[in-house]
A and B are shown apart, each in its own frame.
Chain A
Amino acid sequence: MTGTTTGPASREWPLWSTFARLVVTDEAAMTSALAVVEEYLRRVDDAANRFCPDSEISRLHAGGTELGPVLRDLLEQALWAAEFTDGDVDPTVGGSLERLGYDRDIELVLDEGAPVRAVVHVLPRWGSVILRGSRMWCPAGVRLDLGATAKAVAADQAAALVAESTGSGVLVGLGGDIATAGPAPEGGWQVRVQDAPDDPPTQVALPEGAAIATSSTVSRTWRHGGRRLHHILDPRTGEPAPTFWRSVTVAAPTCLQANAVSTACIVRGDRAVDWVERLRLPARFLRYDGHVLTTGTWPSDEPAEAPR
């Protein structure tokens, strides 16, 4: 624990083609917090970066079966998300993403790749992945992509590690995935909700320990085979999910849950709102015509100020 509370501090740095953001309520905890977060995120990258040939997940794709503790956790959480969303969020879509041209960091994906060949094939599903302790088995050729859930799990874990080690309240944001731990600032964690710059923004206050995540059909897009594609696939078709929503933002007790639900909402399209109502989660749905729907305790939209 730090001895003296001196006020909030924040840091932001580029990571995984997006930005990592760290906010601590106690400025004196920042140095230690930053070191913990960077070290943990490096381990996540070493474990799950499918674009890096030296990563653990790349070695799995080459035939390995043994998982280290970080990758095991990430895969276990990904399989939980798959089961919870009835397969709408599925870690076995890696092969489909590669076929669609998303086979390297999004900043390096060519904006106009070769046409996609129409090939009849059986898509793998998450149920074909068996995880027992630190070993994993799946059919040959299955390519895992943990991108849908790994950032969320990493945000949850990094926030918990910082709160535990420093005693400070902490917010960890990895792109759209934001987790908090420890005591919140007075009035809650102020989070701006805005995907594309021309989308209508709003701002909400998260209570202590809450998380929030946004999934979008506008961000992380590329052209391939004459088509504009986005990165959230319907695992049943291996194609980008229909663009019913521009973005969906969900608040939940953990970032993994928020992310799993927001991603599944993109896949579910117009069936998503009833599902989220039944889950009793606060959420904000932005349609392509700019119309906003909200569920649960989501407050009515208010003008938002940009983070400082």
Chain B
Amino acid sequence: MDQRDRDLTTAQGLRRALVATGVAGSLGFAALAAASTGTTGSISGAAAGRGSGVPARVGATGSGAGLLPRLTGDDGRQEHGDDDGSPARPLRVRHQRPPAAVLPGPGLLPGSGPAQATTSGS
């Protein structure tokens, strides 16, 4: 695995690759999910906002847990893995309804062992 491939194993690296190749559109949730489940998905989109303005196309296929979406540049050049050419699906973030009421709080226990996170004011 060369440095570029290693970069693609992190989300930051993935984003850098997207920007570098002009593929600055949105990565689809379905594509990301597909990458982790070993199923196949594909996303197409247009770069917008802070992106490069270059139309984007991102295909995703995973063949096992934790594998990354395949990236294809706007010129069709394969950047990582193969492109399956399946139809576009948008990022789907489910509408979050406000709670009807606040339920009684969870039962907390005293902590023990190393903390996994810290809550502090921000």
Contact = CB atoms under 8 A, between A and B. Distances in A.
B35 A307 contact: no
B18 to A, nearest CB: 11
A141 interface: no
A281 B104 contact: yes
A204 B108 contact: yes
Contact of A252 (B37, B102, B107): B102
Contact of B93 (A157, A206, A253): A157
B63 to A, nearest CB: 11
A84 B81 CA distance: 49
A206 B112 CA distance: 11
Nearest to A18: B122
A160 B94 CA distance: 10
A23 interface: yes
Given A2-B65, A35-B27, A204-B111, A247 B117 contact: no
A166 B118 CA distance: 24
A253 B106 CA distance: 6
B115 A304 contact: yes
Contacts of A212: 119
Contact of B115 (A195, A207, A280, A307): A307
Contact of B121 (A69, A157, A178, A220): A220
A32 B33 contact: yes
Interface stretch (A72-80, A86-94, A110-118, A120-128): A72-80
Contacts of A270: none
Nearest to A165: B33
B49 A54 contact: yes
Given A69-B93, A165-B36, A247-B121, A171 B107 contact: no
A257 B99 contact: yes
B29 A161 contact: yes
A84 B102 contact: yes
A305 B115 contact: yes
Given A1-B37, A215-B121, A282 B105 contact: yes
Contact of B10 (A2, A34, A77, A177): A34
B76 interface: no
Nearest to B27: A39
B109 interface: yes
Contact of A251 (B12, B105, B111, B120): B105
A74 B98 CA distance: 10
A23 B111 contact: no
A210 B106 contact: yes
Nearest to A283: B105
Contacts of A305: 113-115
Interface string A200-234: 00111111011011111111100000000000000
Given A157-B93, A195-B120, A205-B110, 14 more contacts: A3-B64, A34-B11, A35-B11, A39-B26, A175-B120, A178-B119, A190-B113, A190-B115, A191-B119, A204-B109, A250-B105, A281-B104, A299-B109, A305-B113
5 contacts: A185-B116, A193-B119, A253-B99, A257-B99, A306-B115
